[in-house]
């Protein structure tokens, strides 16, 4: 199959590379000339484990290429995937569809022979029909079709998720489009995974409903963690006891500083707007958004309490700024709320992150960057564990405590325990949803 992938971000690049690894001929298109130049040099513009090797292998095999020019990539393709961003529109929480529609217009000009235009971006209900209308202004009926194929990969584990998905969702209207989509995903059939064919509206809804459900699960356990702190329960034990129930499951039950990232915040907001637009208020989703904001604010209060009521003059070392480990993505990361509050409150802030510095430098002004947690801890009053990178999971806590001016830890990912901290010489240890040790 010949595939054009429009957009080479986290989703487009991973999808394009993986499709080429299936054996398809893939041209990845991006309008950002710097990105394309990097890709042509064999450099991966994002950090995603394993992507560099897989990309190099498929470029070498002649199945994968990169270009800024959309028209030649689209002409003659069996399928064109739209994988451009759908960020939150400023002001109203809606998904900004301008990139999707602009791509659809450009694609319409370039189509040549029957092609399925597939939306992989996360888009509100009704968008695929609008994409159809846009293309139909230029192309004759029957010369193209649309399909909705939302993506569920997780950054940091994206290749494995793409190659071994729990399911693939495909919204189609015609047998012809269904056949093309079946051919594209056929190489995965060997692994016996379910492909869920639906109508366009259901496919669009599945993506938002799935993300909102996961965000709800995280927010639920975060709220229970707040209760645990008051009643003297331990959220880790509570999560374990709940998660072993097969109806609940143990995933997404880890208490922390509130969800962030490129998807949950924007997708929950967009879903809430969709509900309002259709006069079906989605009260659970709306509450999840509000409670998650509250969680981030609570983390700042916790840190302030640990600092004796003020950040002024304190030296704070923050481990982890990306929204989760194994990615360089900083979009809506809790660090973007917490670090400015520390800096604004008069703290001297040092940051360490294995991959976050490149993005983080522009987003988090007024801080110092260190490469090593022990260097960051030198002379510090508080160590904040904000992203659970493997590098921060097995610290020599005695050494960390020994470096600090006041050995205090805020473990916002519950990696260590009060006993570990006390034994290492910390005078204070706070975490989320478990008894503090001070």
Q: Which is nearer to ligand NAD, 67 or 406 (CB)?
A: 67
Q: Which spans of this chain sit near ligand NAD (rule: CB under 6 A)?
A: 6-12, 29-32, 35, 70, 83-86, 99, 102-103, 106, 121-122, 151, 153, 155, 262-263
- Check if the beta carbon of residue 355 is closer than 8 Å to that of residue 327: yes
Q: Please name which of 251, 247, 293 lies closest in space to residue 269, comparing C-alpha atoms.
A: 293
Q: What is the CA radius of gyration of the chain?
A: 23
Q: Please name which of 148, 150, 136 lies closest in space to residue 174, comparing C-alpha atoms.
A: 148
Residue 364 CA: distances (Å) to CA of 291, 367, 378: 24, 7, 21
Residue 96 has which token pair? Answer: 């900004």
Q: Which is nearer to ligand NAD, 99 or 374 (CB)?
A: 99
Measured distance CA(327)–CA(156) in Å, rounded:
5
Task: Give me the residue whose beta carbon is nearest to ligand NAD.
Answer: 9
Options 18, 28, 228, 263, the catalytic residue: 263
Q: Which is nearer to ligand NAD, 323 or 429 (CB)?
A: 323
Query: Is position 263 annotated as part of the catalytic site?
Result: yes
Minimum separation from the CB atom of position 74 to ligand NAD (A): 10
Q: Which is nearer to ligand NAD, 103 or 134 (CB)?
A: 103
- Check if the beta carbon of residue 359 is closer than 8 Å to that of residue 329: yes
Minimum separation from the CB atom of position 73 to ligand NAD (A): 10
Minimum separation from the CB atom of position 331 to ligand NAD (A): 8
Q: Please name which of 6, 15, 205 lies closest in space to residue 102, comparing C-alpha atoms.
A: 6
DSSP per-residue letters across 147-208: EE------TTSHHHHHHS-S-EEEEESSHHHHHHHHHHHHHHHTT---EEEE-HHHHHHHHH
Q: Which is nearer to ligand NAD, 25 or 151 (CB)?
A: 151
Minimum separation from the CB atom of position 39 to ligand NAD (A): 10
Minimum separation from the CB atom of position 204 to ligand NAD (A): 11
Residues catalogued as catalytic:
263
């Amino acid at each position: 199959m010949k595939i054009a992938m429009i957009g080479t971000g986290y989703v487009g690049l991973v999808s394009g590379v993986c499709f080429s690894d299936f054996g398809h001929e893939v041209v990845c298109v991006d309008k950002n000339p710097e990105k394309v130049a990097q890709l042509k040099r064999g450099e991966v513009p994002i950090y995603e484990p394993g992507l560099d090797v897989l990309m190099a292998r498929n470029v070498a095999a002649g199945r994968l290429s990169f270009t800024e020019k959309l028209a030649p990539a689209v002409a003659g393709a069996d399928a064109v995937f739209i994988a451009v961003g759908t960020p939150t529109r400023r002001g109203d929480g809606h998904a900004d569809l301008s990139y999707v529609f602009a791509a659809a217009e450009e694609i319409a000009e370039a189509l040549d022979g029957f092609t399925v235009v597939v939306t992989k971006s996360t888009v509100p209900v009704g968008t695929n029909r609008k994409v159809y209308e846009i293309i139909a202004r230029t192309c004759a009926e029957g010369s193209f079709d649309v399909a909705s194929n939302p993506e569920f990969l997780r950054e940091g584990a994206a290749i494995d998720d793409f190659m071994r998905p729990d399911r693939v969702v495909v919204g189609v209207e015609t047998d012809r489009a269904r056949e093309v989509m079946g051919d594209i995903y056929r190489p995965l059939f060997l692994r016996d995974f379910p492909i869920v064919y639906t109508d366009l509206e259901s496919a669009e809804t599945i993506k938002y409903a799935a993300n909102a459900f996961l965000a709800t699960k995280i927010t639920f356990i975060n709220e229970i963690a707040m209760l645990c702190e008051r009643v003297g329960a331990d959220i880790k034990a509570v999560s374990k006891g709940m998660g072993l129930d097969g109806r609940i499951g143990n995933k997404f039950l880890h208490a922390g500083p509130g969800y962030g990232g490129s998807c949950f915040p924007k997708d929950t907001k967009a879903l809430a707007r969709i509900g309002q637009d259709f006069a079906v208020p989605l009260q659970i989703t709306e509450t999840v958004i509000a409670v998650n904001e509250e969680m981030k604010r609570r983390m700042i209060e916790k840190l302030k309490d640990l600092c004796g009521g003020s950040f002024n003059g304190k030296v704070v070392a923050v481990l982890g700024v990306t929204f989760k480990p194994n990615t360089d993505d900083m979009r809506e990361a809790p660090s973007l709320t917490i670090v400015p509050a520390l800096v604004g409150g008069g703290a001297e802030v040092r940051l360490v992150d294995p991959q976050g510095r490149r993005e983080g430098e522009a987003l988090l002004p007024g801080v110092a960057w260190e490469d090593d947690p022990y260097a960051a801890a030198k002379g510090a009053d508080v160590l904040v564990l904000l992203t659970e990178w493997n590098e921060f999971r097995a610290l020599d806590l005695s050494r960390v405590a020994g470096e600090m001016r006041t050995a205090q830890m805020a473990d916002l990912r519950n990696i260590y325990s009060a006993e570990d901290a006390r034994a290492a010489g910390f005078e204070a240890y706070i975490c989320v949803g478990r008894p503090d040790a001070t």
